[in-house]
Structure 1
């Protein structure tokens, strides 16, 4: 079943620079990053104050854990959540809590427990002034075949969350790629979720018969999006593109050059420190063989390619797993490469108001998704873009408030 793909943006921007297209269409991309709250995160510590809110539009705190009765274990998240909200909201960055995670048990909950979970998630979001709730359900009893009962559990959870949360708070769902797990995600999730986060990675791994290649190679991603096969469980065949963000991993996988030996993982930070800085390997090479291991990684060039595809084809943006894992210092950050293609929009000033509001020279107002500076005041009753009055305003660019209005 194909959902509408909203690919008309690609036609509209033909021949234009992306910056011009965004200004024309009032498109503000979403650049979202997961922030893990457990001890000893891969990539090392990353202080809340160092979160790049100049590039991130949303921070997704991972995780709140559901108990079998629908109560929440938030001990890890509670250590950071309020500091993250304070830092992020001060810099026009939204914050969500993600419930679940890999290996987390949802199936032990009965219908009443799931109702309790919805109530507790809504209360947590309101208590901590959050901008939404993300559901990361990766718990299935069967794989590689449809499971309509368990797919329905997740669908109903998302549906009930959307019905229970205030309209200005978002509900999102993380969807796994590939036919093994991806087949379990109900095709109607986007009827209730505001956004689908497509985990476009882990196409290779430690299982027998896995290809030895980068687990988020562009060939896997692009083929799944443009020429999707059933096995790919591509988001373009299941979900509305305009509601679906593309996942970019900041972790990588290395494989033994032969039949024996375990698969290992490296963060982007470790790739830079070990291979780029340590051995002088070109970061954009994406591959290096060392000590009988084949090392593959996400490159700055690759994240630019993925980000440009998102911008060109009507997707709302990208999300990152996971922020601790990026390089440190002033160079080789994958987030910087993303920001070059998907720059964060400025916050919107107060909306223009008709008479009796009066604006003076230098005042800034927002109107139809853009900020405007008044050139000649006092001014009243004349909106930006009014015919014959274009000289009265200077356009300052597209704007977006990423923090939910309250």
Structure 2
């Protein structure tokens, strides 16, 4: 499990309401010099709601100190949340003003803010600093621009499910600047975005569709259509298809103090509900993939009573331990996939050296994962690099492309027949870990990403304030903006990561404080609440009866018992999160980790039921 930047890996319990958080840009202005403009686009539209973004551009030759965007919405349509701007509402009139950090724009600079809303309508009457958003009427405004952008090139499919297709293309050129793109499914406009990728949803399984893209500039000029690309959606019914993935982590060290073994995955009924198991963790040393605990993985002998299939290990068999037990589990569940995860919070420091020679790293990983002794056990590799080009347990300066370079090398070596996935940061705060790496570029080489949408808050802040460690949404008084699942998912989508390549993370544990008097979130504390294995953390299977939930906030539960305050997910709150994942078109859900659930698998059952 992880804080927004990381997941502890060894001996610990280790490891989106829509929103789009965009960072401060310093790109050339999207309109001609002489005016301040604002370009607003609907980046996603699902009929009953939408997400959008506005980019304010200083097209003058002097610094701009402060900006205000005002707009109106028709009755029945509302903007419910916003980020990177302060929102005020008067009836159907909305005003967005700059926060302090992006108030000043140098000449030619831009900044963006995002929002999500409900209803079918769209904004009208847009003004920026009292003038029309399109700069019309001003000197050199976009009304003087009559040249259309060039057609986008390189349109391609980057992924598909039974109900969606993910597309990407090369940026178009324009004499002034491209402000957005319209994606067409045949003759119908299917999406409008500001970046060079989009996911078109609401499609039918096993059906061929033809897509094109047109570019727009600030003056409303539209390019010719790009070259067309035809894509046939996947056939439905496969539980591993996007939207139905249920991925659980199995912690290698859990066979010791926790006494949790592969057999427990079977006896709890979890094996029938899982599509994938992530085996955590392999180490990263000397620029190579290495085994974590060889005894637990390959040598620990199991008796007949503790073995998955009731057959005891022998002293001379070539493979024992977790790997052999996973092999037996897969034989009992032929559709189940197992992926070997490398890194985690404790071992993420090794990726920096690996990034210096991605090809050599990929070769070492392939040789280990595909070792003939256990090649049939694993169906791919997962990279849990929790703070690339950022600081976590240590600091990394490999650069924003390092994660993508590693995943590209792994994809080349493992090929299309194996899975290549990554667990990534959930820190969506402005300038946070998510802004330090090109996750959209890296996603091109991965089957999916698992943003670790838990451990946002915990008793490492010993005096509080108390806060749920896995909030689905923001809420009044949240200690840190950008620390919630909805903003994490929205920011990744805004950066260009397709929804069909994202899973929602769930923690099968709680985080807690002691010395707390206040029942609601936001109380002060004296330290971490006691836990079975580590202070401040406890399994759901223990908390459900020891400290039952007394309330909910931001889509998750909290509990006050005596002087202790805990937050954790319950079957009910997981149901709400799964509904969110479906509404967002996510690939499914993953969780840390299997041993935290009840013996009859309450939480994983809630995930499966919630995803349908």
- What TM-score does the superposition give when structure 1 sets the normalisation length? 0.69
Question: 1:298 Cα shift?
Answer: 0.6
Measured at CA, do residues 41 and 333 of structure 1 come closer, stay the same or move farther in structure 2, by a change above 3 Å? farther
* Contact 1:8 1:314 (8 Å CA) reproduced: yes
Structure ranking higher in strand proportion: 2
Structure 2 unaligned regions, length at least 5: 1-21, 23-194, 206-234, 299-320, 476-480, 517-523, 530-535
Measured at CA, do residues 53 and 228 of structure 1 come closer, stay the same or move farther in structure 2, by a change above 3 Å? closer
Matched residue, 1:47: 262
Measured at CA, do residues 97 and 170 of structure 1 come closer, stay the same or move farther in structure 2, by a change above 3 Å? same
**Is residue 2:329 matched to residue 1:87?**
yes
* Contact 1:53 1:88 (8 Å CA) reproduced: no
- SS at structure 2 position matched to 1:270: helix
Matched residue, 2:448: 195
Measured at CA, do residues 69 and 285 of structure 1 come closer, stay the same or move farther in structure 2, by a change above 3 Å? closer
Matched residue, 1:205: 458
Q: Using the alignment, how far apart are the partners of 1:224 and 1:262 within structure 2?
A: 24
**Cα deviation code 1:243-266 (max 9, x no counterpart):** 111111112111231342226111
Structure 1 unaligned regions, length at least 5: 13-20, 344-406
Measured at CA, do residues 39 and 298 of structure 1 come closer, stay the same or move farther in structure 2, by a change above 3 Å? closer
Q: Using the alignment, how far apart are the partners of 1:66 and 1:143 within structure 2?
A: 17
* Contact 1:174 1:197 (8 Å CA) reproduced: yes
Matched residue, 1:167: 416
Question: 1:39 Cα shift?
Answer: 4.5
Q: Using the alignment, how far apart are the partners of 1:255 and 1:117 within structure 2?
A: 41
**Is residue 2:564 matched to residue 1:293?**
yes
**Cα deviation code 1:228-250 (max 9, x no counterpart):** 76x88832223111111111111
Matched residue, 2:584: 313
- SS at structure 2 position matched to 1:158: helix
Q: Using the alignment, how far apart are the partners of 1:275 and 1:213 within structure 2?
A: 16
The CA RMSD over aligned residues, in Å, is 3.8
Of the three residues 481, 502, 515, the one matched with 1:244 is 502
1:134-283 counterparts in 2 under 5 A? Answer: 134-139=382-387, 142-143=390-391, 149-178=398-427, 179=429, 180-187=432-439, 188-208=441-461, 211-220=465-474, 234-238=491-495, 239-256=497-514, 257=516, 258-262=524-528, 264-276=536-548
Matched residue, 1:99: 342
- SS at structure 2 position matched to 1:38: helix
Q: How many residues align?
A: 327
Question: 1:44 Cα shift?
Answer: 4.7
More divergent stretch after superposition (134-143 vs 168-177): 134-143
Q: Using the alignment, how far apart are the partners of 1:262 and 1:233 within structure 2?
A: 31
Matched residue, 1:6: 199
* Contact 1:64 1:77 (8 Å CA) reproduced: no
**Is residue 2:606 matched to residue 1:337?**
yes
Measured at CA, do residues 111 and 287 of structure 1 come closer, stay the same or move farther in structure 2, by a change above 3 Å? closer
Measured at CA, do residues 125 and 107 of structure 1 come closer, stay the same or move farther in structure 2, by a change above 3 Å? closer
**Cα deviation code 1:282-323 (max 9, x no counterpart):** 999922212312121111111111112222332111111111
Measured at CA, do residues 9 and 268 of structure 1 come closer, stay the same or move farther in structure 2, by a change above 3 Å? farther
**Is residue 2:569 matched to residue 1:303?**
no
**Is residue 2:276 matched to residue 1:61?**
no
Measured at CA, do residues 285 and 169 of structure 1 come closer, stay the same or move farther in structure 2, by a change above 3 Å? closer
- SS at structure 1 position matched to 2:330: helix
**Cα deviation code 1:90-127 (max 9, x no counterpart):** 31100100011112122552556643331121123323
* Contact 2:246 2:274 (8 Å CA) reproduced: yes
Question: 1:55 Cα shift?
Answer: 0.5
* Contact 2:556 2:573 (8 Å CA) reproduced: no
* Contact 2:262 2:322 (8 Å CA) reproduced: no
Q: Using the alignment, how far apart are the partners of 2:196 and 2:397 within structure 1?
A: 19
- SS at structure 1 position matched to 2:455: coil
Question: 1:337 Cα shift?
Answer: 0.8
**Is residue 2:379 matched to residue 1:131?**
yes
Measured at CA, do residues 49 and 265 of structure 1 come closer, stay the same or move farther in structure 2, by a change above 3 Å? closer
Q: Using the alignment, how far apart are the partners of 1:22 and 1:107 within structure 2?
A: 37
**Cα deviation code 1:320-350 (max 9, x no counterpart):** 1111111124xx711011111225xxxxxxx
1:360-379 counterparts in 2 under 5 A? Answer: none
Measured at CA, do residues 247 and 71 of structure 1 come closer, stay the same or move farther in structure 2, by a change above 3 Å? closer
**Per chain length, whose mean CA-contact separation is higher, i.e. which structure has more relative contact order (CA < 8 Å, sep 6+)?**
1
Q: Using the alignment, how far apart are the partners of 1:196 and 1:241 within structure 2?
A: 10
**Is residue 2:387 matched to residue 1:121?**
no
- SS at structure 2 position matched to 1:9: coil
* Contact 1:62 1:77 (8 Å CA) reproduced: no
